[in-house]
């Protein structure tokens, strides 16, 4: 039996919603604050994997490395070894500048904000660039394995506490009109060996939130770093998805709650897969791509309950002043 207390969204300047001027994106609630009201138009941005430092980590590749990665379905490029994170930081700055021009209701960063969990320099740069996001546009953080696990795989009590000190809760809920958004800590879900209590508490919280949303007739949308699955619900376990046994349990809750949409990153490529009415969207990276899709982010629109989305390359977006 699982038990946990419900968590709410972090309350920082970057996610305290205030009024904002109309822009390319907007939100329009029909019927004021009634939780059963229909959302006429709500638009947000889902980013993932800005991962400052990843470009350097993948530098220094030779022809044999390119072939080896290609055999595992990943695209990397030959080139000299470099240090630092200027390449990644520039792209994240472009993404933030584009968000300021598009003016969504909010932005979600779907994890892997940094490449090295121990690098204070990378973390400080992420927060500095994020501070350029207009104060009227909330930023909601999702923990990635490079953020909340010191070894980038298995979180510990200490690594979770450290993450929470900087970014707030690692799993939580927030509402917009009649829609409840649930942020999951998929790093704990994927590798709970050192924090089994965190797994139990999060699963119990998730079930309660889904059941409560059903009772309130709220639409639910999920965010996480790892996708539940990349191609199909029954695919084998891999580094890129959640373990199949846990996946089955989550999907039972998802279908019971009539949840139709989830957004994740981690794969550094784009994929859309389905299990019945449930759509699992794996979105490409703001930072270093591992496939043919360029650096970018996903534009999501909700119109009277219908969710549509498209991936936009940074090169195709307005970038305002990214310096």
Name the band, by pLDDT with cuts 50, 70 and 90, for residue 232. very high
* 259: nearest Cα among 284, 245, 276, 283: 276
As a whole number, the mean pLDDT across the chain is 89
Under a CB-based contact definition with an 8 Å cutoff, are residues 315 and 309 in contact? Answer: no
What is the structure's pLDDT at 312?
A: 97
Under a CB-based contact definition with an 8 Å cutoff, are residues 262 and 46 in contact? Answer: no
Q: Does the pLDDT at position 13 exceed 80? A: no
Order of strands across the sheet that contains 278-282: 172-176, 179-183, 219-223, 261-264, 278-282, 271-275
- What phi and psi values does residue 309 have, to the nearest 5 degrees? -160, 160
User: Can you say whether the dihedral through the CA atoms of 229, 230, 236, 239 is positive or negative?
Assistant: negative
What is the structure's pLDDT at 19?
A: 34
- Tell me the pLDDT tens digit for each residue of 89-145: 999 999 999 999 999 999 999 999 999 999 999 999 999 999 999 999 999 999 999
Alpha helices in the chain (DSSP H): 54-57, 63-71, 86-102, 120-130, 145-148, 157-167, 186-190, 196-215, 244-256
Cα-based angle 230, 234, 237 (whole degrees, multiple of 5) = 65
Name the band, by pLDDT with cuts 50, 70 and 90, for residue 30. very low
Name the band, by pLDDT with cuts 50, 70 and 90, for residue 40. low
Q: What does DSSP say about strands 278-282 and 271-275: parallel, antiparallel, or unpaired?
A: antiparallel
Q: Does the pLDDT at position 236 exceed 80? A: yes
* 288: nearest Cα among 112, 117, 116: 112
**Longest alpha-carbon distance in the chain:** 60
What is the structure's pLDDT at 173?
A: 98
139 - beta bridge partners? 107
Q: What is the DSSP letter of 115?
A: S
Alpha-carbon distance of 166 to 201, in angstroms, equals 21
- Tell me the pLDDT tens digit for each residue of 308-320: 999 999 999 876 5
Alpha-carbon distance of 64 to 84, in angstroms, equals 24
Domain 43-52+88-316: which topology?
Answer: Purple Acid Phosphatase; chain A, domain 2 (3.60.21)
* 268: nearest Cα among 290, 286, 242, 292: 290
What is the structure's pLDDT at 41?
A: 84
* 48: nearest Cα among 305, 293, 322: 293
| Overall average pLDDT of the 215-232 stretch | 97
Domain residue extents for the chain: 43-52+88-316
Alpha-carbon distance of 133 to 93, in angstroms, equals 9
What is the structure's pLDDT at 22?
A: 36
Q: Does the pLDDT at position 25 exceed 80? A: no
Q: Determine the 3-state secondary structure of 90 from DSSP.
A: helix
Q: Does the pLDDT at position 10 exceed 70? A: no
Q: Does the pLDDT at position 182 exceed 90? A: yes
CA 277 to chain centre: 21
Under a CB-based contact definition with an 8 Å cutoff, are residues 226 and 187 in contact? Answer: yes
- Tell me the pLDDT tens digit for each residue of 51-91: 999 999 999 999 999 999 999 989 999 999 999 999 999 99
Predicted TM-score (pTM) of the model is: 0.89
Q: Give helix then strand counts, H and E, for the chain.
A: 9, 12
Under a CB-based contact definition with an 8 Å cutoff, are residues 96 and 129 in contact? Answer: yes
Higher pLDDT, 30 or 253: 253
Name the band, by pLDDT with cuts 50, 70 and 90, for residue 39. low
Q: What is the DSSP letter of 236?
A: P
Tell the residue number behind the tokens 């609630």, with chain if given: 29
> What are the structure tokens assigned to 191, written together?
């590798």
Alpha-carbon distance of 317 to 79, in angstroms, equals 27
């Amino acid at each position: 039996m699982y038990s946990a207390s419900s968590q709410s969204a972090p309350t920082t300047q970057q996610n305290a919603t205030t009024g904002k001027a109309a822009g390319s994106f907007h939100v329009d609630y029909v019927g004021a604050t009634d939780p059963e009201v229909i959302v006429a138009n709500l638009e947000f941005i889902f980013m993932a994997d800005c991962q400052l430092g990843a470009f350097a980590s993948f530098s220094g590749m030779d022809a044999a490395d390119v072939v080896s990665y290609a055999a595992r379905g990943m695209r990397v490029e030959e080139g000299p070894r470099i240090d630092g994170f200027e390449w990644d930081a520039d792209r994240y700055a472009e993404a933030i500048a584009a968000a300021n021009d598009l003016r969504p209701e909010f932005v979600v960063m779907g994890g892997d904000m940094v490449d090295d969990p121990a690098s204070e320099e990378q973390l400080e740069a992420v927060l500095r660039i994020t501070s350029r996001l207009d104060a009227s546009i909330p930023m909601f953080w999702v923990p990635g394995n490079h953020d909340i696990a010191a070894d980038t795989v298995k979180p510990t009590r200490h690594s979770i506490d450290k993450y929470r000190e900087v970014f707030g809760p690692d799993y939580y809920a927030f509402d917009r009109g009649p829609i409840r958004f649930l942020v999951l800590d998929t790093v704990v879900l994927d590798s709970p060996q050192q924090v089994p209590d965190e797994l139990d508490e999060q699963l119990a919280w998730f079930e309660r939130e889904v059941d409560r949303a059903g009772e309130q007739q709220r639409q639910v949308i999920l965010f996480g770093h790892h996708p539940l699955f990349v191609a199909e619900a029954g695919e084998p376990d891999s580094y890129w998805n959640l373990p199949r046994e846990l996946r089955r349990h989550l999907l039972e809750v998802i279908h019971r709650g009539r949840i139709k949409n989830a957004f994740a990153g981690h794969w550094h490529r784009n994929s859309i897969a389905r299990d019945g009415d449930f759509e699992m969207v794996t979105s490409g990276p703001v930072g270093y791509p591992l496939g043919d899709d360029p650096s970018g982010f996903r534009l999501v629109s909700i119109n009277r309950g219908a969710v549509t989305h498209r991936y936009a390359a940074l090169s195709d977006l307005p970038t305002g002043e990214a310096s």
